[in-house]
Structure 1
Amino acid sequence: MKEWPWEKQCSFAGQVGYKGIEIAPFTLAENVDDISADQRAKMVQAAKNAGIQIVGLHWLLVTPKWLHFTTPDDDIRKRTWDYMNKLADFCSDLGGKVMIFGSPKQRGSVGGLTKEQATQNLIEGLKYCAPHAQERGVKILIEPLDHTQTDVVNTLAEAVEVVKAVNHPAVQTMFDFHNTADETEPFDVLIKKYFPYIKHVHVQEMDGRYLGTGNAVHDYVPGFRALKEKGYTGWVSLEVFDFTPGPETIATESMKTLQKIIAQV
């Protein structure tokens, strides 16, 4: 829906039955500094007019292109951490509460760093950003991504290790049904094991297409049952990477399939 005006995105999402919307900042501007206070206020009002909430941000570090959170380049690394703080400001200004830290290319090991060294830089950066995020009422959620996307934080277990190392309430993790290729345990087992750290959920088909094009309507039910059993009250966000069917089809069919899953829980 990024080609649509913001007002139309919000209005359509509300009409189809969504209660909230997540924002990828790069779809709005190259740099969040370019989004004025007035523009931010208008975005909030458009969401309110549509009867939906702005949940938070994802795809945090796609632009500006120089961003890299774990690079051995001290200047770029520090500037990226400072930019993360600006994203927390943007998120908070919109009323958002979570920032999903995926951005695989901007957190993976580069410049001769080992995975362990890059992970340590990730931890130090999150320690730097956590106090400001907390001040703005925002949580930074590390998203586990499989090894084909990045070499830093591939599983929920690794994400929780980072969360524990940072040791700050503003840094937690989340669960993405799609991004579990490196996991060795079923959805429900993972959710129950790491539930105290899971503050957000993403859902789409395992191949990245929208819900309803694969087996999610059956395969994800145990995971949703585990979420219900554990008393999850956060957001479930419908995500997609194949946009070719068009926003109307993706949004409508995803919602229908999610409702079918929930009906079995």
Structure 2
Amino acid sequence: MRKYAICNETFEGWEHARICARIAELGYTGLEVAPFTLAPRITEVTAVQRAELRRQAQAAGVQILGLHWLLARTEGFHLTSPDPAVRQRTGEYLAELAHAAADLGGNILVLGSPAQRTYPAEWSRQKAEDFALDTLSYCLKALEQRQVYLCLEPLSPTETNFLNTATEAVALAQRLNHPYVRLHLDVKAMSSEALPIPEIIRTHAAWLTHFHANDPNKRGPGFGSTDFCPILQALWDIHYTGWISVEVFDYSPDPETIARESIRYLKECAEKVTPFSKR
């Protein structure tokens, strides 16, 4: 069964309960949350507030699946900082995000945040990776305790110089060697890679835990030239059972249209997917 979700920052200015009710009406069963839509820092969202957000989602038949844009609009955090204190502070904040995701009812953290991971051009990638691994070491206990997956998100070279391909993200996860550090894939980001998107999905099937549906034009699926039929076919072929979450960066024409047309197009493509048993 396919699980469709959408990111809450799409609905800027909407109350949380209204977002949940409307996306449920449109056929979504999951909501992905950007922490900055709740508070400047996730630690400012109290246990009572977290419980209420979760209750409102559940009342609408929606699950808050987790958090993304983890470090966006924050200061003092950086994944590849040369400063040990910054690395520790960043890793400990990721641990707080894991606790928050679980409190909200989710088990996913998407580690994108390009500005907070870019490293100086004169560094080697090995040096940046070593710093990143040290940063992440501070959140592993919380990930395991709360059973939350930290999903590394490859991003294009126009956004950052750290983890630009799925292969690089998997290599970092392999070095860390922790069961709750996994891979996230995003259609817009994958479009910058040399390999076709379906091939990237199949190649890294064993690591894939979360998926963002969007178009390289920064809009939703179906709002650009990307054909999602072979993409969904690849997800079906690898027996992917996670969320397909709509994430846009261009919020035109409006949240309602984005949400309605994105899921309509995804479901239309899904109807064309052929199970192995019927080939």
TM-score normalized by the length of structure 1: 0.95
1:151 to 148, 161, 166: 161
Percent identical: 37
Contact 2:212 2:246 in 1 (8 A): yes
Corresponding residue for residue 238 of structure 1:
246
1:113 shift after superposition: 4.0
Corresponding residue for residue 95 of structure 1:
105
Amino acid at match of 2:198: D
Deviates more, 1:113-122 or 1:74-83: 113-122
User: Is 2:209 aligned against 1:199?
Assistant: yes
Q: Which structure is richer in relative contact order (CA contacts within 8 A, separation 6 or more)?
A: 2
TM-score normalized by the length of structure 2: 0.91
1:96 shift after superposition: 0.7
Deviates more, 1:103-112 or 1:219-228: 103-112
1:2 shift after superposition: 2.7
User: Is 2:264 aligned against 1:256?
Assistant: yes
Decide whether aligned partners of structure 1 residues 34 and 128 sit closer, same or farther in structure 2, where only a CA change above 3 A counts: closer
1:112 shift after superposition: 6.0
Amino acid at match of 1:105: A
Q: CA offsets per residue over residues 37-93 of structure 1, 9 Å max, x none?
A: 110010010001110101111000013222212111222221111111100110010
User: Is 2:93 aligned against 1:83?
Assistant: yes
- Unaligned stretches of 5+ residues in structure 1: none
Amino acid at match of 2:245: S
1:223 shift after superposition: 1.9
Is the partner of 1:100 in helix, strand or coil?
strand
1:132 to 135, 142, 163: 142
Amino acid at match of 2:94: M
1:211 shift after superposition: 2.0
User: Is 2:230 aligned against 1:225?
Assistant: no
| Alignment RMSD | 1.4
Decide whether aligned partners of structure 1 residues 167 and 242 sit closer, same or farther in structure 2, where only a CA change above 3 A counts: same
1:161 to 167, 171, 185: 171
C-alpha distance in 2 between matches for 1:147 and 1:111: 12
C-alpha distance in 2 between matches for 1:146 and 1:162: 17
Amino acid at match of 2:159: Q
